[in-house]
Structure 1
């Protein structure tokens, strides 16, 4: 499934990145490599962006960015 489809409160693991160029570089710089665990923390009031817990830090990604990250549920 894609990270953009993960439910709030769920924990997932990165399978692959489906992006190229600067977006891919940004994702890699944030630590989004295969095997990384991500917790879906909260959604903004308007639904976009969504806060994710990654390696002890919270980052916000827009759905447009999150749809390029293929994940697998850990639950």
Structure 2
């Protein structure tokens, strides 16, 4: 399987979060949203200029800026 940054994933692509590569306040906020290693995610859509990205995680939809998505490593299926 291939590992990508969340920002590099395409619409409809599914994967499993492998690592969150940031600490501090931003890392805590990302983890509080349910984006933790082992969580299954699917790219739901992107805004017209590709920022932000909408993802499905734990039966909910979240949006992240690309600057936040750059810190999330995903193993794609």
TM-score by length of 1: 0.94
1:21 is aligned to 24
Provide the alpha-carbon RMSD of the alignment.
0.7
Gaps of 5+ in 1: none
Q: Distance in 1 between matches of 2:7 and 2:48?
A: 16
Q: Distance in 2 between matches of 1:43 and 1:2?
A: 15
Q: Distance in 2 between matches of 1:14 and 1:37?
A: 7
TM-aligned CA deviation for residue 46 of structure 1 = 2.2
- Relative to its length, the structure with more strand (as a share) is 2
Q: How many corresponding residue pairs?
A: 74
Q: Distance in 2 between matches of 1:47 and 1:16?
A: 22
Gaps of 5+ in 2: none
1:6 is aligned to 9
2:41 is aligned to 38
